[in-house]
Amino acid sequence: MGSNINRVNISGNLTRDPELRGAASGTQVLSFGVAVNDRRRNQQSGEWEDVPNFVDCIVFGARATALADMLRKGSKVAIEGKLRYSAWEAKDGTKRSKLEVVVDEVEFLSSRNQQGSGQQYGQSQAGGQSAPSYPAPAPRQTQQNAYKASVPPPKAAPYDEDIPF
């Protein structure tokens, strides 16, 4: 068997203000949504359009409390984390499921100084860069993995207009 990789990098805007709640275990849980645009050609007009994908994100523990005060609807962020699938039966008997990102790191791309230097919350940055960084290990990670160098958000891929979608 080969190794499996469960890592996700997305960037987009928060679709709503984050919701902070306490789990039965006492752990703080922060949930929010991020809209990530996909570029597709409209089959009728032939024009390229941005089509949003809505991604549910969740943060646990002390990081949840800190981020609740920093994130707002419309905030532009880069997220690194892992996918988690959940399935359950609703009270009315219907089967429900969702796929969400368990966030390990958040980089704030909406900069107050408008110079493009994002503020990062999560793991430390590589090379001692000047943007503030807040170390915070993710749940179920070893201390060694929790402080690994961050990966910059992926750049938008150029789109070839001849690709049929």
pTM: 0.64
| pLDDT tens column, 58-101 | 999 999 999 999 999 999 999 999 999 999 999 999 999 999 99
The closest of 76, 77, 98, 79 to 87, measured between CA atoms, is 98
Highest averaged pLDDT of the listed ranges 4-18, 107-121, 134-148: 4-18
- How far apart are the C-alpha atoms of 126 and 123, rounded to whole Å? 9
Distance, CA of 83 to CA of 85 (rounded, Å): 7
Distances (CA, A) of 90 to 2, 85, 93, 148: 36, 16, 5, 39
Q: Phi first, then psi: what are they for 67, rounded to 5°?
A: -70, -30
Q: Cα(25)–Cα(51) distance, rounded to whole angstroms? A: 38
Query: What superfamily in CATH does domain 8-141 come from?
Result: Nucleic acid-binding proteins (2.40.50.140)
